[in-house]
Amino acid sequence: MHNHITIRWAGQMRPCLEGLRTARLGHSGLSTQCRYRSWAGLKAQSSSHPSIPKHQFSSVLSRQNNELPLQSSDASAQTQKLPPKKQGPYRSWALFNIAGLSAVIIAAVVLKSAGSGNNDKKIINKTSFSPFTIVSKEQVSPTAFILSIRAGNDADSSARGSAQAFREAWDHGLWSVEIKQPQLQIARHYTPLPSLSTLGSSSSPADGNEDELRFLIRRVDGGEMSTYLSKLRVGDAVWLRGPHLGFDVERRLGDAGRRVVFVAGGTGIAPALQVARRVLDVGGEGGEAEEKPTVSILWANRRADDALGRQRQAGSTSTGNSWWFSWWQRGDEATSSKITARTVAETSFAQQIQDLERRHPGHFRVSYFVDEEGSFIGPQDLRIGLADGQDTSTLRELLPPAKTCAWHSPAALAKLPDDDDASRRDTECKCGQKSTQEASSSKVGANLIYVSGPDGFIEAYAGPKRWYAGTEMQGPVRGVLGRILTNGDRAEAEGNWLVLKL
Ligand SMILES: Cc1cc2nc3c(=O)[nH]c(=O)nc-3n(C[C@H](O)[C@H](O)[C@H](O)COP(=O)(O)OP(=O)(O)OC[C@H]3O[C@@H](n4cnc5c(N)ncnc54)[C@H](O)[C@@H]3O)c2cc1C
């Protein structure tokens, strides 16, 4: 989950927004060097391509004004050079009016197009950054906070436009946006958390403020962007670009996929909640409860304070407030009274996890692993996670996919250049084409394992992504999961698991 834009500055060059626009950061360690153009360069370009050559323009004028046919009775009429004709007051007045009118029309057209351009830019889009405002900031651990931002007020057309873009992204399921640091001109991806509007209700999310986004962000030591974001206050502006759509969870599960396992490190939990929302709240609507897929999250954090939503052991005397909370609260009174914080157990993020567990019993589970407590996600934990306490023989029910199926074949997935499944919407699933008998009698699909976290975390569990001809591919599955899934004796190896690296 690492990305990087490098902007190089030279002489009096302006920050290169164009480079930022064209750079698709992707979910990778891609480092994009900005292409820039100086204002001087632009000037030189325009003056070297005048629309009407100057010499032609002046000769046309001189012909009109100075060379007139002779107005005489002389039969041998000929042209001769005359002194410039004096213009009467009426003609000057008419010319003056025409010029004035033209100026007004041109100004109106320019203003109108500038106005609509500005409005368009305010609506979130993939090419330019649009302004949003921070509406709340909640510290949830010593290093992590939840930032909520909004596009504008409801009457604002830009807010409605952004809300529409977000609705489509939520409908897709897995997505992110880029946020930029305006001074350094760098941008990083962040994953919106599902809305809190469903807390305590069993209905599917009909998001309250649809132009509002929430992010779980961790301040990384020495991290340019996360440190910048951690210093922002309620009311400050942030600049967003996107949405960038990711893997299509519904399509990859198909009719037959029944399990989603998330191996998440730190803030890598955010996409897990997006997928849980898509699969359980939206996809599960109206279906039989037992037909709903299970979403099992194995969540690793370095510190206990970051294991949000973990239930305290029975008999624990802890109030849920750790040392950092009282320390942070004291500091906060002095700095910003607008940041809201509750106990560790009461953070909105913890409540969101507990709410999912309550609403989807047996279908949503988070298992916590904390480095400082000596618990790490090991091969055995992964096997249990893949089985999710159920009979592993059900995994064998899935049809093996066609080797070339872009949606369900691990071999095809390894060669995919990015995770934007929306861009391959028209690609057909080839699994059903293997044999008409199989196709008519069986459902097709895959069980999904997402691995989401910093680059090192992804490499350890699923192997690195691969670069080929300047493009980053998913690459084959290696690491701990590679070893488990290639062990042909085990049911999980036959369960048609697709490993998706985020
Ligand atoms: C699709 C996508 C979605 C993302 N969603 C989120 C999100 O919802 N919340 C969130 O907080 N981050 C998210 N990230 C990560 C985010 O984009 C940044 O990489 C992160 O905030 C660090 O950026 P930075 O500029 O502060 O650090 P940098 O200046 O880029 O890095 C500073 C140092 O920290 C290391 N580092 C970078 N990221 C991490 C990390 N996560 N853990 C440990 N060390 C790290 C780097 O290797 C480097 O040594 C996402 C990334 C991707 C690709």
Per-domain residue ranges of the chain: 130-313+322-501
Instruction: Look up tokens 């019993």; give the residue.
Output: 361
> What is the whole-number distance in angstroms between the Cα of residue 406 and the centre of ligand 1?
29
Residue nearest to atom 19 of ligand 1 (CA): 2
Q: Whose CA is nearest to atom 31 of ligand 1?
A: 223
The pTM (predicted TM-score) of the whole model is 0.73
- Give every CB contact of residue 164 below 8 A, 6+ residues apart in sequence: none
- pLDDT tops 90 at residue 401: no
Ligand 1 atom nearest to 453, measured from its CA: 41
Q: In angstroms, what is the span from residue 1 Cα to ligand 1's centroid?
A: 6
Q: Give the distance (Å) from ligand 1 centre to CA of residue 481.
A: 23
| Distance, CA of 73 to CA of 257 (rounded, Å) | 99
- Point out the ligand 1 atom lying closest to the alpha carbon of residue 144: 11
Q: What residue type is 480 in one-letter code?
A: V
Cα–ligand 1 centroid distance for 215 (angstroms) = 13
Its CATH architecture, for the domain 130-313+322-501, is 3-Layer(aba) Sandwich (3.40)
* 172-219 confidence digits (pLDDT tens): 999 999 999 999 999 999 999 998 865 444 444 444 578 899 999 999
Per-residue pLDDT band at 488 (split at 50, 70, 90): low
Mutate which of 267, 273, 458 for ligand 1 pocket (most atoms within 8 A of beta carbon): 267
- For range 213-233, the mean pLDDT: 96
- By three-state DSSP, how is residue 96 classified? helix
φ and ψ at residue 245, rounded to 5 degrees: -85, 145
**Measured between alpha carbons, how far is 102 from 477 in angstroms, rounded to an integer?**
66
Rounded to an integer, what distance in angstroms lies between the CA atom of residue 208 and that of residue 206?
A: 6
Minimum CA distance residue for ligand 1 atom 48? 223
Maximal CA-CA distance, the chain:
123
Cα gap 204→292, rounded to integer Å: 14
Upper half-sphere CA count for residue 464 (Cβ side, 13 Å): 8
* Atom 1 of ligand 1, residue of closest alpha carbon: 27
**How far apart are the CA of 30 and the centre of ligand 1, in A?**
13
Can you tell me the mean pLDDT for 352-372?
A: 93
What are the pocket residues of ligand 1 if the criterion is a CB atom closer than 6 Å to any ligand atom?
1-4, 27, 176, 188-191, 215-218, 220, 222-227, 266-267, 270, 454
Distance from Cα 446 to the centre of ligand 1, integer Å: 29
- What's residue 448's pLDDT? 94
Residue having the nearest C-alpha atom to atom 28 of ligand 1: 223
Q: What percent of the chain has pLDDT over 70?
A: 60
Provide the sign of the torsion angle of the four alpha carbons 254, 259, 263, 269, taken in this order: positive
Q: How far away, in angstroms, is 48 Cα from ligand 1 center?
A: 45
Confidence of residue 90 (pLDDT cuts 50, 70, 90): low
The ipTM, to two decimals, is 0.95
Residue nearest to atom 27 of ligand 1 (CA): 223
Q: Is 270 exposed, middle or buried (0-12, 13-18, 19+ CB in 10 A)?
A: buried
- Measure 344 CA to ligand 1 centroid, in angstroms: 23
